[in-house]
């Protein structure tokens, strides 16, 4: 399966297919910091591990700290997007890969730079030619400007699958008519809503030792029943949304 098509690729591909494709890339991004982007990247990595049986390769652009990398020490690389050598490591590495799944956790301060490189190097076309399946997951924030930033990326990269992520714990500006209009203009037919979580469950998700593949295998049997139930519910909600996305189901505003 390739990302490029005359139609928007979301209409012809499913996320289940993405998981099975030779090489796939999930770019998790946002124009703002601290809105659950790294948490979402972690969830994506866990879900991919559950589906594929092996962990995806992770590029953590939060150099030098590497927030996500701490959760996936064996499969992460902390990269500095200011360095050309690291840009080559990311983009050339993905294009030359065989059968790998990648997650790029794109720190907000490099959001513009990353997509400048993406456009300037013609990566969209390069990915198409290399049969590399790319999906951008844009976590929108609560300000109107965040929807505008999402719209700009979506507009400039028409051949790349685009999924909006709404984090219930953060909120968004979709109540505003202008924001709703912009959102509609994006013709977003795929979105994922991260349900709100209790502080305990959220703290657990953010813990470096917590992973859903271990959780599903009952690796945390000592957890209280309520916590387990909440985490199961959260996981099922995410899975269900992914299935809806797989079917191309639009989430009405």
Partner 1 sequence: MKHTVILVGADKGGVGKTTLSRALLDYLERNNVLARAFDTENPRGTLKRFYPGKAEIIDLSNVADQMKILDTMDKVSETVTVVDLKAGNLSNALEIFEKIGVLQAARDGVFDMGLLHVVGPSIASLDEMNEVAKYTNGLGYVVARNFINETNFFEWDEATYSKYFARLPNAREIEVPKLNEMAYEQVDLAGVTFSDFVANKSADGEGADFSFVLRGYVRKWMSDIDAQIEQLDMVKNIMAEKRAAAGGK
Residues 63-92 touching partner 1, rule: CB under 8 A, are 84-85, 87-88, 91-92
Compute the least distance from the CB of residue 119 to partner 1, in Å.
9
Q: Which is nearer to partner 1, 90 or 238 (CB)?
A: 90
What letters, b where the CB count within 10 A reaches 16 and e where it falls short, cover 53-62?
A: eebbbbbbbb
Residue whose CB is less far from partner 1, 72 or 123: 123
Taking CB under 8 A as the criterion, the residue among 1, 32, 50, 117 binding partner 1 is 117
Q: Is 59 in the site for partner 1 (CB under 8 A)?
A: no
Nearer to partner 1 among residue 11 and residue 121 (C-beta): 121
Size of the site for partner 1 (CB under 8 A): 13
> Using alpha carbons only, what angle is made at residue 34 by residues 31 and 38, rounded to the nearest 5 degrees?
90
Count the neighbouring beta carbons within 10 Å of the beta carbon of residue 20: 14
210 binds partner 1 (CB under 8 A): no
Choose which of 112, 121, 145, 198 interacts with partner 1 (CB under 8 A). 121
* CA atoms of 127 and 196, how far apart (whole Å): 35
Strand pairing partners for 57? Answer: 102
Q: Kindly state the tokens that stand for 188.
A: 């977003």
Which string of DSSP letters, residue by residue, matches 91-119? HHHHHT-SS-EEEEE--GGGHHHHHHHHH
Binding footprint of partner 1 on the chain (CB under 8 A) = 84-85, 87-88, 91-92, 95, 117, 120-123, 126
């Amino acid at each position: 399966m390739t990302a490029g098509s005359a139609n928007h690729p979301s209409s012809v591909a499913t996320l289940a297919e993405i998981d099975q494709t030779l090489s796939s890339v999930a770019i998790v991004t946002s124009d703002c910091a601290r809105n659950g982007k790294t948490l979402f990247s972690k969830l994506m990595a866990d879900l991919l591990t559950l589906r594929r049986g092996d962990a995806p390769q992770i590029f953590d652009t939060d150099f030098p700290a590497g927030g996500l990398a701490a959760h996936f020490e064996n499969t992460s690389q902390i990269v500095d997007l200011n360095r050309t050598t690291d840009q080559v490591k990311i983009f050339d590495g993905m294009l030359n890969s065989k059968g790998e799944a990648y997650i790029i956790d794109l720190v907000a301060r490099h959001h513009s730079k990353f997509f400048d490189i993406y456009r300037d190097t013609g990566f969209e076309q390069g990915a198409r030619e290399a049969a590399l399946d790319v999906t951008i997951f844009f976590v929108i924030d609560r300000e109107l400007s965040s929807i505008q930033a999402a719209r700009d990326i979506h507009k400039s990269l028409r051949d790349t699958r685009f999924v909006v992520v709404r984090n219930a714990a953060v909120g968004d500006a979709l109540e505003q008519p202008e924001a709703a209009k912009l959102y509609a203009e994006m013709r977003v037919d795929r979105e994922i809503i991260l349900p709100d979580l209790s502080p305990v469950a959220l703290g657990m998700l953010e813990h470096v030792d917590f992973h859903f593949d271990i959780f599903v295998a009952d690796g945390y049997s000592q957890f209280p029943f309520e916590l387990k139930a909440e985490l199961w519910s959260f996981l099922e909600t995410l899975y269900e949304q992914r299935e809806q996305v797989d079917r191309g189901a639009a989430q009405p505003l």
